[in-house]
């Protein structure tokens, strides 16, 4: 009885396979191909689709960096730093270059897509969290108590409403710097919203931001862990749709009103101040051109 049952299963499988082949031959005949050519054509089409996705440099909204198609270039990532501590931390939505001396990021970089500017994930239940992936001493919530500085996001919570994990990771202290309350509430927030507008308009933008220290005398710190207080903050933005363009911004870490027009600068200027090489994955001639220009009216 058991042998008969196995035989029936095998026979059914053979018939199903034959049916698939007949269907393929029929579809091939309709297209003027034989069955072998048909299967080859389908495989080639699938491979071409995968290649096109990789070469586009775009990530689907549901993809994290870890499961994005192979071959994608992360244009937002700066070149490795020279002469200062750097620990690279990969998150779902962004990448951090962490500095163990300042207890702050050197930079935070992310590829912001149009779809990532929307989402239903709320920040209301999130809390700022010590990042145990870096060594001690490191920034903690206690360092900010009575410091009169905000816990200023580099990659903002507003860019991470599309994912629970992304939202939670945006509250790690390795994505945070001591930031003047006025700057955090007004000018820096305005710039974050503008970047989201650009991502919606152009489909995506590449962003890098972080602290600036001018190095005049002893650096001001907060808390038991001596977290460095930046003198200013930078943000550089790259748009690769059409003719590529880039723009930079520098805001002083203070509460006095600062006009966005006065904060605009070239990426080259930010590189000179920070020693960071931005957008090294661009072709050299494109990188040279876009980093020397900064005209906000062209955005």
Active centre residues (catalytic): 153
DSSP state of 282: S
Tell me the backbone φ, ψ of residue 14, rounded to 5 degrees. -65, -45
Q: The dihedral of CA 150, 152, 158, 164: what is its sign? A: negative
Place of tokens 């939670």: 168
DSSP state of 76: T
DSSP 194-251: HHHHHHHHHSEEEEEEEEE----SSPPEETTTTEEPPSEEEEEEEE-SSS-EEEEEEE
Contacts of 293 (CB under 8 A, 6+ apart): 245, 246, 247, 266
Greatest extent of the chain over all pairs of C-alpha atoms, in Å: 91
H helices of 109-186, in order, are: 164-169, 181-185
- CA angle at 116 for the pair 294 and 69, rounded to the nearest 5°: 95
CA 97 to CA 133: how far, in whole Å?
13
Instruction: Give the Å distances, CA to CA, from 71 to 42, 206, 299.
Output: 22, 17, 29
């Amino acid at each position: 009885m058991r042998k008969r049952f196995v035989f029936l299963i095998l026979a059914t499988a053979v018939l199903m396979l034959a049916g698939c082949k007949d269907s393929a031959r029929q579809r091939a005949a309709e297209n003027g191909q034989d069955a072998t050519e048909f299967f080859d054509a389908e495989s080639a089409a699938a491979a071409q689709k995968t290649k096109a996705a990789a070469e586009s440099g775009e990530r689907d909204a549901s993809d994290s960096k870890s499961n994005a198609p192979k071959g994608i270039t992360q244009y937002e990532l700066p070149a490795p730093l020279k002469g200062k501590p750097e620990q690279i931390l990969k998150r779902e939505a962004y990448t951090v270059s962490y500095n163990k001396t300042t207890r702050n990021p050197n930079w935070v970089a992310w590829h912001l897509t149009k779809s990532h500017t929307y989402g239903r994930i709320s920040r209301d239940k999130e809390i700022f969290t010590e990042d145990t992936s870096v060594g001690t001493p490191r920034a903690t919530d206690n360092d900010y108590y009575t410091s009169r500085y905000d816990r200023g996001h580099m990659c903002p919570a507003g860019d991470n409403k599309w994912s629970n994990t992304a939202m939670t990771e945006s509250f790690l202290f390795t994505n945070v710097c001591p930031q003047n309350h006025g700057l955090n509430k007004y000018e820096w927030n305005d710039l974050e919203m503008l970047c989201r507008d650009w991502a919606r308009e152009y489909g995506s933008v590449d962003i890098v931001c972080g602290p600036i220290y001018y190095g005049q005398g002893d650096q001001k710190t907060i808390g038991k862990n001596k977290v460095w207080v930046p003198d200013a903050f930078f943000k550089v933005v790259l748009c690769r749709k059409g003719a590529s363009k880039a723009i930079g911004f520098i805001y002083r870490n203070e509460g006095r009103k600062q006009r966005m027009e006065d904060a605009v600068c070239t990426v080259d200027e930010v590189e000179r101040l920070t020693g960071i090489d931005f957008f090294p994955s661009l072709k050299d001639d494109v990188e040279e051109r876009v980093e020397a220009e900064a005209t906000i009216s062209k955005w």
